[in-house]
Amino acid sequence: MISTRFGVAVALFLSLAALALGTLAFMSVLREEDEDVGRLVQTRITNAYQGDPVLFALDEFFVSRDATGRARALYIYPPGHYGHDRGCRVVWSPDATFDAPSGQAGPGLFIDPCGGARFRRDGTLLSGPADRSLDYFGTTPGLDGVIVDTRTLFCGAAPGGGGGGTPVPTATPSDETCDRVSAGKGGA
């Protein structure tokens, strides 16, 4: 009697173990095929927020404001060779200013510590080796604040062409999608 019960218990245990391993293998295959990265992030920051940009490190963006006061979600990696290939992250410096002859850019700049590029609060390229403004995620108003969609990354606008040293900033965003640096695609 004991051997029959023992045999049934072992068979049941092995069946459940095989089912669990099969489910695990199936889920890992589904996860590898899923190329979508990102999610919807509910922030408590509204378009009325007047403070410094807020870093959302887990989701790799800053929430800042553009020239019209609208909230923007700026990707933390600077565009171009210096940012993407090296995995550097821009930092917000509230006391930094831009000393250009045009006098544009007030206090507070995003700075690329690796390449030296400088960006306005709205992500517009002011100077440095970056080839465009900061990349960004789409935002929509939510009940408690702005909702950031980190599933699609949009390329920052190319400089407006100044015919010389410093690019002329432009606030016109691009609708072109960009590749991410993070999430296992190079970078930190």
CATH number at residue 114: 2.102.10.10
**CB atoms < 10 A from the CB of 3, how many?**
7
Residue 61 CA from chain centroid, whole number: 4
Whether this model's pTM surpasses 0.75: no
Q: Are residue 60 and residue 87 in the same domain, yes or no?
A: yes
Q: Are residue 56 and residue 121 in the same domain, yes or no?
A: yes
Closest CA relative to residue 150, chosen from 52, 76, 70: 76
8 A C-beta contact, residue 143 and residue 186: no
Q: Are residue 29 and residue 44 in the same domain, yes or no?
A: no
Q: Are residue 10 and residue 69 in the same domain, yes or no?
A: no
Q: Are residue 80 and residue 52 in the same domain, yes or no?
A: yes
Place of tokens 């999608």: 177
Q: Are residue 9 and residue 57 in the same domain, yes or no?
A: no
The reported pLDDT for the residue numbered 101 is 54
pLDDT in tens, the chain (188 residues): 568 888 888 888 888 888 888 777 776 655 444 456 789 998 988 878 888 999 999 999 999 988 788 899 999 998 865 555 667 899 999 988 876 555 455 678 999 988 888 999 999 998 888 889 999 999 998 888 999 999 999 999 987 644 333 333 334 455 788 877 754 444 44
Per the structure, the count of domains in the chain is: 2
Instruction: Enumerate residues 6+ apart whose C-beta is below 8 A from 74.
Output: 53, 61, 62, 63, 64, 90, 110, 123, 134, 135, 136
H or E stretch at 160: none
Closest CA relative to residue 132, chosen from 164, 91, 171: 171
Q: Are residue 3 and residue 47 in the same domain, yes or no?
A: no
8 A C-beta contact, residue 108 and residue 137: no
8 A C-beta contact, residue 93 and residue 112: no
Q: Are residue 47 and residue 134 in the same domain, yes or no?
A: yes
77 residue type, one letter: Y
Q: Is residue 145 part of a domain?
A: yes
Q: Which two tokens stand for residue 60?
A: 């790799």
For residue 21, what are the domain limits? 1-33
H or E stretch at 137: strand 136-141
Q: Are residue 22 and residue 111 in the same domain, yes or no?
A: no
The reported pLDDT for the residue numbered 170 is 39
Distances (CA, A) of 100 to 40, 105, 167, 169, 186: 38, 8, 11, 12, 33
